[in-house]
Amino acid sequence: MADYTANMKLPARVSICEVVTRDGLQNEKEVMATERKNLLIQAVVAAGVKIVEAGSFVNPKAVPQMADTEQVFANIASNSTQKDVEYRALILNKRGIERAYECGVKKAKLTLSASQSHQKANANQSHDEIFANFAAIAEFAKLNGVTLSGAISTAFGCPFEGAVPVEAIIDITKRYDEIGVGELSLSDTTGMADPALVYRNVSIMKERFPGIVWNLHFHNTRGMGLANVLAGMQAGVSRFDASLGGLGGCPFAPGASGNIATEDLVHMLDLMGIETGIDLGKLLEAAKMLQGFVGRELASAVLKAGRNSDLHERVLKLD
Ligand code: ZN
């Protein structure tokens, strides 16, 4: 029989960046102990995760959850078994890249919002002001051997402005490109993307900027996270962020689901025959540990329902 799925235009392999100790924890009220973050990072790496966004070097008063990022990276550095993993940190300003460099961070991620009003609410800076700072950061990074990536948040919609025109994303991408940042993430910060919008915008961006390496970052706020991943893959993207347990909030939708859950994403990709290099069983163990740490049921579907393969085994036993 013909391979009908060949028409789906799927990648053979997907690379996943685990963001649980950064985006996942950022909106948690109770600050997680550094040692627990360390255990989570070790557990996801043991499961096969090769890219970890471990923390952010931002104002500790503004984001108390990230106040221990120096210590998180010190723990990573002292763990010699994790050398082939890329550990990245989020930064927003010059002080951030200096702190990251002092910790030996090799990859730092800049971020800004596609929507000016979201940007003003978050950081009270215009895009011009931000890119003036980013240019200085890029110079520092180049001199000191730190690679930069960039994120564009609210890329698929803004809680204040609604629709975000693709022209705004094109403009920001040009500016990132000008300062030499060649790996970019389109982030659906508040879960406003739908699969058609993702397919359209990603196709436009890939056509306009063929030299950029694209990542996608989806939140499952309105239940469309994995559908958006499928649309992204069909538009030719094979790099996605996800958070263990689906942790990660959205300040504009209290109580809503967070990031897409890493285990839900791996489970889906496993079923589709798309390689991730991640052991789902070990990942689920890590998610259970996280659930114990935060002390409440997490939004992850596979954590609740188990794997398809678990069910098949159960059915066989019943027979
Ligand atoms: Zn996010």
Separation of CA 319 and ligand 1 centre (Å)? 44
Question: Distance (Å, rounded) from C-alpha 73 to C-alpha 281?
Answer: 26
Number of Cβ atoms within 10 Å of the Cβ of 126: 12
Work out the mean pLDDT of the chain and round it to a whole number.
93
pLDDT at 81: 63
Q: How far is the CA of 128 from the centre of ligand 1 (A)?
A: 23
pLDDT at 303 over 70: yes
Q: How far is the CA of 313 from the centre of ligand 1 (A)?
A: 35
* pLDDT above 70 (res 153): yes
Query: Distance of CA 306 to CAs 103, 138, 258, 310, Å?
Result: 39, 44, 19, 6
158 is catalytic: no
User: Of these residues, 17, 103, 158, 250, which one is catalytic?
Assistant: 250
pLDDT tens, residue by residue, 161-204: 899 999 999 999 999 999 999 999 999 999 999 999 999 999 99
218 alpha carbon – ligand 1 mean position (Å): 7
- pTM, two decimal places: 0.95
Task: Tell how far the Cα of 304 is from the centroid of ligand 1, in angstroms.
Answer: 22
Q: Residue 164: which of 149, 178, 176, 152 has the closest Cα?
A: 152
| Residue 187 pLDDT | 97
Tell how far the Cα of 317 is from the centroid of ligand 1, in angstroms: 41
Task: Specify the amino acid at residue 22.
Answer: R
Sequential DSSP letters for 162-210: BS--HHHHHHHHHHHHHTT--EEEEEETTS---HHHHHHHHHHHHHH-T
CA geometry: angle 160, 163, 191, nearest 5 deg: 75
**Do 80 and 268 form a contact (C-beta atoms < 8 A)?**
no
pLDDT in tens, 259-284: 999 999 999 999 999 999 999 999 99
According to the model, what pLDDT value does residue 119 have? Answer: 78
Q: CA 187, CA 114: separation in Å to the nearest integer?
A: 9
Centre of ligand 1 from the C-alpha of residue 18, in Å: 11
How far is ligand 1, taken at its centre, from the CA of residue 10, in Å? 24
